[in-house]
Chain A
Amino acid sequence: MDDIVSSEHNGYVLISGSSSGIGQEMAVQMSGRYRLILNGRDAERLEGTRNSCANPSDHYIWRYDLSSVDQLDEQLTSFLSEHGIRVSSFVHCAALLKILPLRSQTLPMVRENMNVNFLSAMEIINVLMKKKVNDRRLQSVVFISSIASKFGAKGFSAYSASKGALDGLMKSLAVELAPKVRLNSILPGGIRTRMTTDIFSSPEMVAKFERDYPLGIGVPQDVINMVEFLISDKSRWITGQQFVVDGGRTTAISA
């Protein structure tokens, strides 16, 4: 039974965006089974996440604000070498979501959105693929994308574009880095997190969600289950795919 229960992890799991939302809950849930590197921009909240984890001293904090990628390579490289640790799995949870019509968007806002949601993931993988930095230890990458990568919604243009870019990156790198590294995306529907608090604060929106989601509104655990499957060797033959986890939301509009 052991081979079903556990799988080999001889490196750290880096979780971006682990100071809030799905990333934070993921870190707490997984902390008893994996050694983690918690990334976020707010040192205090990251410390809070770590203190909620099982065995807090097993896990590292890498504070870096992904809204700028210029220093990322240098910072991540020196963080890993300073602590002498290697990353075997990378889960990109960090994301900005500002629901705005096109006319209200500014280029700096869109660039920031692209940096956090997409470019930082590309840059992190680039660093983790360097033999000198990570000793060829990277095995699995999971992007927390969104059903907004495949379907449109008013006010979601920048967010959709960034998630679409992320999924395009995932597919090409899955081909390019096979068979050593596997990459997949999870496309969640509406999940109750800090990022989506605003959406769930209005009763009309909650009513709409309950109508649109055949299995109801999701919780972070629903996504975390899929993350754990995709970084385990139970999914050793899965790469380059987008996995919809949305309680049936897009089933009615999917082609």
Chain B
Amino acid sequence: MCPPSHPLNLLGKHYLITGAASGIGSAVAVLLNRLGASLSLVDRDANGLQETIRLAGAGLSCYQFDLKDIGGIDRLVADIVSKGGRLHGVVHSAGLQSIMPAKALTVEGWREVFAVNTESALALAKAMQSKKVYAGDSGSIVFISSIMALAGSPGATAYSMSKSALHGMARSLALEYASKKIRVNCVAPGFVRTPLFERTEKLWDADQKRAVELQHPLGFGEPEDIANAVAFLLADTGRWITGTVLVVDGGYLAR
């Protein structure tokens, strides 16, 4: 059990984590659970959620839900609150990555990316302002964005746009929610070894993979590297940080 004296302790706190079935969301769930938080995990992949629970241990609640269903998010949140109590924050880690040239983009395709990556984040953050949902005291919302929100890459148009929008959202929400003592920040990861990354990786040959790795002066990252930054922003350690982007990218953007 995490000692109450630990600066990162999240004892008595309840967080909603999206995209919790794999990758960064799963690593965040495992770490926050160890720091003493109670967690409600959301993902469309029910088997993946079970795998996260197996890794994290007992006491976590799972909700199979596809975040494309923006209109259903209020009901999802109400369900989570009625079962697990009011929330101290949200970690939005769910993300669709569609890498394709602009000419191959379709209206339906980019709207789907935008719905899952961006609009669902807004719906969740909007839900947090309700006294029926927000536990009060102190709250923290973290959107997992991407270095692609800050740097371009051919084929990443829809993805970049959806992630950049999270940064804009976080800045204005941070100002609006400051009086409620809810902080809003983004964590922008570089290329981290996740299932999403592994699917992208398969599209590269050995030279391309080497080239991408060389773009990260510290090499590729692990989901735990991102989870550590998320925990820092959720815990009291981040109490004077809001409206910012915490880049965790092995040096990618420094070059």
Binding site for B on A (CB under 8 A): 1, 4-5, 171, 174-175, 178-179, 182, 214-215, 218-219, 222, 225-226, 228-229, 234-241, 243-248, 250-252, 254
Q: Which residue of B lies closest to A245 (CB)?
A: B241
Q: Which residue of B lies closest to A177 (CB)?
A: B217
- Could you say which residues of chain B place their CB within 8 Å of the CB of A234? 228-229, 232
Instruction: Let me know if A248 and B250 touch, CB within 8 A.
Output: no
Instruction: Let me know if A240 and B217 touch, CB within 8 A.
Output: yes
Q: Which residue of A lies closest to B250 (CB)?
A: A237
Assuming the contacts A251-B171, A251-B242, asked whether A237 and B237 have C-beta atoms less than 8 A apart, the reply is no
> Which one of A182, A219, A235 contacts B229 once the chains associate, using CB atoms below 8 Å?
A235
- Could you say which residues of chain A place their CB within 8 Å of the CB of B179? 214
Query: 8 pairs across A/B with beta carbons < 8 Å?
Result: A1-B1, A215-B239, A235-B228, A236-B225, A238-B229, A251-B175, A251-B243, A254-B243
13 extra A-B contacts, CB within 8 A, seeds A215-B178, A222-B241, A225-B238: A4-B6, A5-B3, A171-B254, A174-B217, A178-B251, A225-B7, A229-B237, A238-B248, A238-B250, A239-B217, A241-B246, A241-B249, A241-B254
A226 to B246, CA, bound (A): 11
> Which one of A1, A179, A218, A246 contacts B34 once the chains associate, using CB atoms below 8 Å?
A1
B228 shortest CB reach to chain A, Å: 4
A64 shortest CB reach to chain B, Å: 29
Query: Interface residues of B toward A: which range?
Result: 35 or more
> Which one of A175, A178, A238, A247 contacts B242 once the chains associate, using CB atoms below 8 Å?
A247
Instruction: Let me know if B175 and A248 touch, CB within 8 A.
Output: yes
- Could you say which residues of chain A place their CB within 8 Å of the CB of B237? 225-226, 229
Q: Which residue of A lies closest to B1 (CB)?
A: A1
Instruction: Let me know if B218 and A237 touch, CB within 8 A.
Output: yes
A202 shortest CB reach to chain B, Å: 22
Instruction: Let me know if A218 and B240 touch, CB within 8 A.
Output: yes
- Could you say which residues of chain A place their CB within 8 Å of the CB of B242? 214-215, 247-248, 251
A194 shortest CB reach to chain B, Å: 19
B111 shortest CB reach to chain A, Å: 27
- Could you say which residues of chain B place their CB within 8 Å of the CB of A222? 239-241
Assuming the contacts A171-B254, A245-B241, asked whether A252 and B175 have C-beta atoms less than 8 A apart, the reply is yes
A218 to B255, CA, bound (A): 31
- Could you say which residues of chain B place their CB within 8 Å of the CB of A235? 228-229, 248
Q: Which residue of A lies closest to B232 (CB)?
A: A229
A30 shortest CB reach to chain B, Å: 12
Q: Which residue of A lies closest to B183 (CB)?
A: A215
B27 within 8 A of A: no
B253 within 8 A of A: yes
Q: Which residue of B lies closest to A218 (CB)?
A: B240
Instruction: Let me know if A179 and B243 touch, CB within 8 A.
Output: no
Instruction: Let me know if B217 and A237 touch, CB within 8 A.
Output: no
Assuming the contacts A1-B34, A178-B217, asked whether A237 and B225 have C-beta atoms less than 8 A apart, the reply is yes
A252 to B243, CA, bound (A): 9
- Could you say which residues of chain A place their CB within 8 Å of the CB of B183? 215
Instruction: Let me know if A240 and B171 touch, CB within 8 A.
Output: no
- Could you say which residues of chain A place their CB within 8 Å of the CB of B247? 238, 241
A29 to B91, CA, bound (A): 30
Assuming the contacts A4-B35, A178-B251, A225-B238, asked whether A237 and B221 have C-beta atoms less than 8 A apart, the reply is yes
> Which one of A182, A214, A243, A246 contacts B175 once the chains associate, using CB atoms below 8 Å?
A214
Residues from 192 to 251 in B contacting A, C-beta threshold 8 Å: 217-219, 221-222, 225, 228-229, 232, 237-244, 246-251
> Which one of B6, B221, B225, B246 contacts A243 once the chains associate, using CB atoms below 8 Å?
B246
